[in-house]
C-alpha cells in the first residue's frame, strides 16, 4: 500500500505552526513558576516511563496530560509488550529527533563531505500514546509491568542502596559516616570537611532518604556548570529536596511530597528562565544519583521495574 504524499505547507503555514509550537513550549515552562506547578513537575519526572525524557518533553507531557506515567510511540509500545488500543488517537506531542535521511547524507558525501555542510538532526513535535491508551499483548509476548516498585520509609529493604550512594559520595571526595545525632536531625553535609553525616538511629530506608538529600547538597557544589544558576539558601534547599525526592522515587521509596515552600518567596521576582535553569540542574543531578543506583543488581522484589530499565535504554 502506497503511503499518501505529504502536503507541502506554505511559508505562512510554516510560520504559524512554529508560532504555535513556541507558545506550547513557553506554556509548558511557565508551569514551574508556582509551588504547585513545581510539585506537579516532580510527580511527572518521578514516573519511570517519563524520567528519561528531556526536561522540555517532561513539561510538555505535564501540560497535555499530567496523569500520564508512560508515553511512547506506537512501535515503542510494541517493544514493551503493549499495543495501542484500536481507535485511540494521541493527545500528547513531544519533541523527537529527526536525523538526516540516507539520501541527504549520501548527497553530502558525494559533494565532498565538508564537515561544516553536514546535514544536521532537527527536532519536530511527534505524537505519542500514554499508558491509558494501551493494553498488554497476549502470550508469547512478555509485557513489561507498568506499576512502580514500592518501599516503606520505616523498613530496611533499601539496605542495598547504601553502598552505591557511598561510592558516589567518594567520587565527589566525600566520606559518609553514621552516628547518632540529636532528635530531629536526620543528617548533615559539611562541604568544608567533605563529610556526610547520617543519623544511624533511623530505620535503614530513612537513612537512605537522608543520604540522598545530603548527597544532593554535595553534588550542587561538585557538579557545577558555568551556566548553572547562582543558588541562595532557599534555592539550594529546593534543589536538594527535589533531587532526593526523584532519587527515592527511582527506588520506590514512599516519601512525603518535597517541601517546595522555598519557591514562594522569590518566584514572582525571579527571571522567567530561572525556573527552567533550576529544573535542568535538578534533572541533571537526579540522573547522577539514579545512574549510581541503577549500576547495582537490586533484589528482584524490591528493585527497579522493567519499564524503568526500558525507559533508560
Q: Contact 171/178 with Cβ under 8 angstroms?
A: no
Q: Residue 148 domain-assigned? A: no
Q: 282, 246 in Cβ contact below 8 A? A: yes
Contact between 191 and 213 under an 8 Å Cβ cutoff? The reply is no
121 with 171, same domain? no
51 inside domain: yes
Residue 3 is assigned to a structural domain of this protein? no
- Asked if residue 119 and residue 176 are part of one domain, the reply reads no
pLDDT of residue 310: 37
Residue 279 lies in a domain: yes
Question: What is the three-state SS of 116-157?
Answer: HHCCCCEEEEEEEEEHHHEEECCCCCCCCCCCCCCECCCCCC
Co-location of 166 and 244 in the same domain: yes
Compute the Cα dihedral for 68, 72, 76, 82 and give only its sign: positive
Q: Judge if 191 and 271 occupy the same domain.
A: yes
| Phi, psi angle pair for 155, to nearest 5° | -95, -170
Structural domain of 93: 11-136
Q: Is 36 in the same domain as 114?
A: yes
Cis-peptide, bond into residue 140, ω within 30° of zero: yes
- Residue 175 and residue 298 in one domain: yes
Same domain, 127 and 84: yes
Q: What is the pLDDT of residue 13?
A: 73
Question: Within a domain: residue 143?
Answer: no
Question: Is 205 found in the same domain as 88?
Answer: no
Q: Which of 104, 136, 168 is the last residue of a domain?
A: 136
**Those residues with Cβ within 8 angstroms of residue 73's Cβ, 6 or more apart along the chain or in another chain:** 126, 127, 128, 129
Quick one: pLDDT at residue 266?
53
Query: Quick one: CA dihedral 99, 104, 109, 111, positive or negative?
Result: negative
Domains of the chain: total: 2
Question: Are residues 119 and 222 both part of a single domain?
Answer: no
> Which cell goes with 212?
540522598
Could you tell me if residue 289 is inside a domain? yes
* 163 vs 27: CA distance, rounded Å: 41
Give per-10-residue mean pLDDT for the chain (313 aa): 59 78 82 82 86 90 90 93 94 91 92 91 91 94 80 86 96 96 90 95 92 95 87 84 91 68 54 82 94 66 34 36
Position 313 scores a pLDDT of 34
pLDDT score at 130: 94
pLDDT at residue 12 in the model: 79
Whether residue 5 lies inside any domain: the answer is no
210 lies in the same domain as 125? no
Structural domain includes residue 145? no
Quick one: 279 and 194 in the same domain? yes
156 vs 200: CA distance, rounded Å: 12
Rounded to 10°, the helix 233-250/204-222 angle is: 130
Which set of grid coordinates corresponds to residue 254?
514512599
Predicted local distance difference test score (pLDDT) of residue 131 = 93
pLDDT number for residue 194: 96
CB atoms within 10 A of CB 240: 24
Q: What is the pLDDT of residue 306?
A: 33
Tell me: do 81 and 175 sit in the same domain. no
Amino acid at each position: 500500500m502506497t503511503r499518501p504524499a505529504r502536503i507541502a505547507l506554505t511559508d505562512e503555514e510554516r510560520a504559524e505552526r512554529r508560532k504555535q509550537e513556541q507558545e506550547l513550549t513557553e506554556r509548558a515552562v511557565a508551569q514551574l513558576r508556582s509551588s504547585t506547578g513545581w510539585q506537579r513537575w516532580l510527580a511527572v519526572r518521578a514516573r519511570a516511563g517519563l524520567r528519561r525524557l528531556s526536561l522540555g518533553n517532561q513539561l510538555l507531557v505535564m501540560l497535555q496530560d499530567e496523569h500520564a506515567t508512560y508515553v511512547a510511540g506506537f512501535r515503542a509500545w510494541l517493544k514493551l509488550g503493549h499495543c495501542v488500543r484500536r481507535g485511540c488517537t494521541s493527545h500528547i506531542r513531544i519533541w523527537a529527533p529527526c536525523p538526516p535521511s540516507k539520501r541527504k547524507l549520501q548527497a553530502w558525501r558525494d559533494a565532498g563531505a565538508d564537515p561544516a555542510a553536514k546535514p544536521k538532526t532537527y527536532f519536530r513535535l511527534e505524537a505519542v500514546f500514554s499508558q491509558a491508551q494501551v493494553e498488554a499483548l497476549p502470550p508469547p509476548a512478555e509485557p513489561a509491568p507498568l506499576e512502580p516498585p514500592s518501599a516503606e520509609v520505616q523498613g530496611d529493604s533499601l539496605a542495598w542502596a547504601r553502598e552505591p550512594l557511598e561510592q558516589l559520595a567518594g567520587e565527589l571526595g566525600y566520606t559518609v559516616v553514621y552516628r547518632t545525632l540529636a532528635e530531629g536531625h536526620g543528617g548533615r553535609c559539611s562541604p568544608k570537611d567533605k563529610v556526610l553525616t547520617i543519623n544511624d538511629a533511623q530505620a535503614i530506608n530513612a537513612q537512605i532518604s537522608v543520604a540522598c538529600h545530603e548527597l544532593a547538597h554535595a553534588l550542587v557544589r561538585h557538579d557545577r556548570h558555568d551556566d548553572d544558576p547562582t543558588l541562595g539558601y532557599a534555592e539550594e534547599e529546593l534543589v536538594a529536596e527535589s533531587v532526593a525526592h526523584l532519587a527515592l522515587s527511582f527506588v520506590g521509596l514512599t516519601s512525603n511530597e518535597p517541601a517546595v515552600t522555598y519557591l514562594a518567596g522569590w518566584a514572582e521576582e525571579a527571571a522567567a528562565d530561572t525556573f527552567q535553569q533550576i529544573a535542568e540542574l535538578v534533572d541533571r543531578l537526579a540522573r547522577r544519583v539514579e545512574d549510581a543506583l541503577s549500576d547495582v543488581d537490586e533484589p528482584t522484589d524490591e528493585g527497579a521495574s522493567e519499564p524503568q530499565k526500558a525507559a533508560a535504554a
